[in-house]
Amino acid sequence: MICAFYGSNIHPGEEYRLRLEDMKKVAVETGTNLQVMRYDPEAWFRYCGHLAEQPEKGKRCGLCFALQLQAAALCAIEERCDALCTTLTISPHKDIMLVNRIGALIAGKNGLEWLDRTWRKAGGFLESVRESRRLGLRRQGYCGCRYSIKGDGRQ
């Protein structure tokens, strides 16, 4: 099993660095191979920026999910994995049906099985909060994209 960390959607660069450091802690704790994708926020802006005025959970989010999941699918193929899954469904702020629909489409196009998981179910979100505290991880107040920051950094 590997974990692909895509962060080109994360803004600003310091936030990306902090999230990557936390992801490295998780990888060490779980013994998971972490593959870090190239950080290219300009590519993300070119891809999603035309939807800057869209509300959260709007069309921009769907494009962003697709970009993240396609990067993960390419990593899975390179690493000879046969399935694809995401932690995006742990967040109560994400549209699970949209994430799973996009994930299944991308997985299928890349010859991978999509593992349709809703990590926040059955207390999963609360468990993620407990685990992040135990590991000393930060809890982010926004998805990461520059358009989701509202003054205090919260959605």
Q: In terms of residue numbers, what domain contains 122?
A: 2-148
Vertex 85: Cα angle to 140 and 11 (nearest 5): 30
pLDDT (tens digit, 9 = 90+) per residue, 33-65? 999 999 999 999 999 999 999 988 889 999 999
In degrees and rounded to multiples of 5, residue 30 shows phi and psi of -95, -5
**Per-residue model confidence (pLDDT) at position 56:** 84
Q: Is 154 part of any domain?
A: no
Q: What is the pTM of this model?
A: 0.89
- In the chain, the number of structural domains is 1
| pLDDT level of residue 93 (50, 70, 90 thresholds) | confident
pLDDT (tens digit, 9 = 90+) per residue, 119-138? 889 998 999 999 999 999 99
Say how far apart CA 41 and CA 47 lie, in whole Å: 10
Q: Is 65 part of any domain?
A: yes
**Per-residue model confidence (pLDDT) at position 119:** 87
Q: Is 20 part of any domain?
A: yes
Task: Please say if the pLDDT value at position 89 is more than 50.
Answer: yes
Q: Is 94 part of any domain?
A: yes
Task: Please say if the pLDDT value at position 22 is more than 90.
Answer: yes
Q: Is 153 part of any domain?
A: no
Closest by Cα among 37, 113, 96 to 68: 37
| pLDDT level of residue 150 (50, 70, 90 thresholds) | low
Cis peptide upstream of residue 92 (ω within 30 degrees of 0): no
Task: Please say if the pLDDT value at position 155 is more than 50.
Answer: no
Q: Is 64 part of any domain?
A: yes
Across 149-155, average pLDDT: 52
Averaged confidence pLDDT in the chain = 92
